[in-house]
Amino acid sequence: MISGPSGVGKTSIVHRLISAFDGTFSVSATTRPKTDQDTEGVDYIFLDEAEFQKWIVADRFLEYAQVFGRSWYGTPREPVEADLAQGKIVVLDIDVQGAIQVHETMPSSYGIFVLPPSEEELLQRLRHRGREDEATIERRFAEARHEMQTARTCTAYKEFVVNDDLEQAASRVIELVRVRRCGDPR
């Protein structure tokens, strides 16, 4: 599991990790509307709310949550368990609450939390992305501070990696996973 606040670079790190191990990315299910940019089964598995609730009742998720009181998101259990059974590395790009749920159901899961060099740097990164208005940036920043505090106090994360340089942070994450998987620090 790789987690970190918005703007910390975790998606870039996840792509490098998957490439390094020929790993599998866990595709989440969601009830949010599909956009023209989305590809079914690649970006998300799109479900209506009734079907999502059926999946919850049938215990088909490792974790799930409703985000901002609107859309539901969850990690489907079956593909993760099938890939793990084949010895593959499965990477979940997941928020703190989801990581806590996964860790409770799969205590052997390995969580890495990606941190910004500082809170001030994170706020600058959020602003420089140029995707959101100031109110949204401030909300994301407040959420990020809460996420970082929760990550430090829960037991879902074994490692914390500061991303002050993307290549170094990605290399560190790859090294941590290699050691965890193979005992080989290379």
- Any idea which residue has 């910390």 for tokens? 8
Q: Using CA atoms, how far apart are residues 150 and 154, in angstroms rounded to an integer? A: 6
Residues 1-41: pLDDT tens digits? 999 998 899 999 999 999 999 999 999 999 999 999 999 99
Same domain? 14 vs 105: yes
Token couple for 80: 């993760």
User: Is residue 186 in some structural domain?
Assistant: no
pLDDT one-digit tens code per residue, 153-180 = 999 999 999 999 999 999 999 999 999 9
Cα-to-chain-centroid distance, residue 48: 22
pTM score, whole prediction: 0.89
Contact (CB, 8 A) for 75 and 64: yes
Residue 13 in any domain: the answer is yes
Beta pairing class for 61-67 and 71-76: antiparallel
Question: Quick check: is 145 in a domain?
Answer: yes
CATH number (domain holding residue 1): 3.40.50.300
DSSP string, 22-62: T-EEPPPEE-SPPPTT--BTTTBEE--HHHHHHHHHTT-EE
Asked if residue 171 and residue 128 are part of one domain, the reply reads yes
